[in-house]
Structure 1
Amino acid sequence: MNRPTTSYDTPEVLDRREGPYGEVALRRHGESLQIIANGCFLMDTSDGRSERLLVDAALDALTPRARASAPHVLIGGLGVGFSLVHAAADPRWGRITVVEREPAIIGWHRDGPLAPLSSDALADPRTEIVAADLVRYVNETSATFDALCLDIDNGPGWTVTEDNQSLYSQAGLASCARVLRPDGVLAVWSAQPSGEFEGTLRNAGFRSVRTEEIPVARGVPDVVHLAVRPG
């Protein structure tokens, strides 16, 4: 997720659909494209610093051996595609799996207004798009990953839907740890730091818990919460 751009132009709605979790819309606001879910701003195409840092921080936190062995990253949330595009631009990632629960967002990337941003990354043979709810996916999948990058909400305390809240609980984080390989990295984007969430990560068994700030033009910095599953 990221913060909305400041502009006084009237947004143009390019598409609006009723999805499995409510209404999702794609708007053009000036030069930016915005994704809106149930009237709540999620993200736009104005600045991908947060998404790039999310992916890079996860890779940097891996052990040298994991980085050298074509690691597999699971990205929670396709969004406007910044995380996927950045991961696909880095040859060190061996496989890239993106879980997105909104069919409309996947469609906007495949053959809609977001396609120019992500077409090359979608065509990358390392890329797999999974149409599923991330909470259900981490509870049910038998796959394992070297890194899990979560960007499906505005943070642990500001979720897009109530169903997502369970992901940031101790039980939900235990499910995240289950799909991570030993020494695997969990990276969670948030619009603001949360000492409480850091404590929940530790209580869920993660180690090397830390928070990395992402400077913004105004207000509290965005952050990436990082944690490692013990080997």
Structure 2
Amino acid sequence: MKIRELIDTARIPGGDELRLYRRGDDFIIAIGGNELMNSRMSGSEEALAVMSCARLRKPETAQLLIGGYGMGFTLRAALAALGPDAKIIVAELVPEIIDWARGPMAGLAAGCLDDPRVELVIGDVAAAIAAGRGRYDAILLDVDNGPDGLVRAANDGIYSAAGLASAKAALRPGGVLAIWSAAPDARFTRRLAAAGFRVEEVAVRARTGGKGARHMIWFARVG
């Protein structure tokens, strides 16, 4: 049996402690008794990027905001789907996450943070959304376990009526707000519709190849 080795810890601003583990060739990021990310399960995070980019009007020149770097699965998939003149801003609240990406998980990151199309912002994605009125073709959010904040209570604000109004204002006409969740949430679907979005719900598998647990992605379009 492979032993799970603790590599490092990080404190979430306004939240609990994250732990980075390695088990053999796999990496795990956990909070308390909950496993948030596992390098063996990238399917739904990649789908968040691939399916969002497929809904863009001009992927070759699109402007994207990704909330939460995680293990970089969404960023790498977006880079592969977008053209050379696209731009991706990655907002990551916990600086140690980026340290891990450039350190013990550098092989997994595969240099994605150094792509010239990427701008890294250390801070709350809510601030990047609020500052980007009419700027983005898509906003991709994977900052928690879903609309029910697990990692940080303040994340609830992103998914509130006010938070959704801010995201809508930051999108260009035809823009897409894409939100990853570990589980469905009918109340949140109704909240998106009430905010004026055209809503599409898509169930995806946690692992590539259609395996693993079912996760949910909402695609909420402006106009």
Describe the superposition over 1:148-192 as per-residue Cα deviations: whole angstroms up to 9, x where unpaired: 111111111243111001111111111111111111001101111
Q: By how many angstroms is 1:9 displaced?
A: 4.3
Aligned pairs, how many?
A: 217
Q: Specify the SS of the correspondent of 1:46.
A: coil
- Separation (CA, whole Å) in 1 of partners of 2:138 and 2:44: 17
Counterpart for residue 48 of structure 2 = 54
Root-mean-square deviation over aligned CA pairs: 2.0
Return the alpha-carbon distance in structure 2 between the equivalents of residues 47 and 41 of structure 1: 11
Runs of 5+ in structure 1 lacking a partner?
Answer: 1-7
The TM-score normalised by the length of structure 1 is 0.86
Aligned match for 1:223, one of 208, 216, 222 = 216
The aligned counterpart of 2:168 is 177
CA distance change for structure 1 residues 91 and 183 in 2, over 3 Å: closer, same or farther?
Answer: closer
Find the partner of 2:72 among 49, 74, 81.
Answer: 81
* Secondary structure in 1 matching 2:81: coil
Q: How does 1:146-225 map to 2 (within 5 A)?
A: 146-207=137-198, 209-216=199-206, 217=211, 221-225=214-218
CA distance in 2, matches of 1:49, 1:156: 20
Determine which of 20, 34, 38 is the counterpart of 1:26. Answer: 20
TM-aligned CA deviation for residue 212 of structure 1: 0.8
In structure 1, the partner of 2:93 is: 101
Q: Give yes or no for contact 1:139–1:175 (8 Å, CA) kept in 2.
A: yes
Contact kept in structure 2, 1:19 and 1:104, CA below 8 Å: no
In structure 2, stretches of 5+ residues that fail to align are none
Letter in 1 for 2:19: A
Q: CA deviation at 1:29?
A: 2.4
Residue 89 of structure 1 aligns to a residue whose secondary structure is: helix
Q: Does the Cα contact within 8 Å between 1:10 and 1:29 map onto a contact in 2?
A: yes
Q: For residue 103 of structure 1, what is the amino acid of its counterpart?
A: P
TM-score, scaled to structure 2: 0.89
Q: What is the letter of the counterpart of residue 27 of structure 1?
A: Y
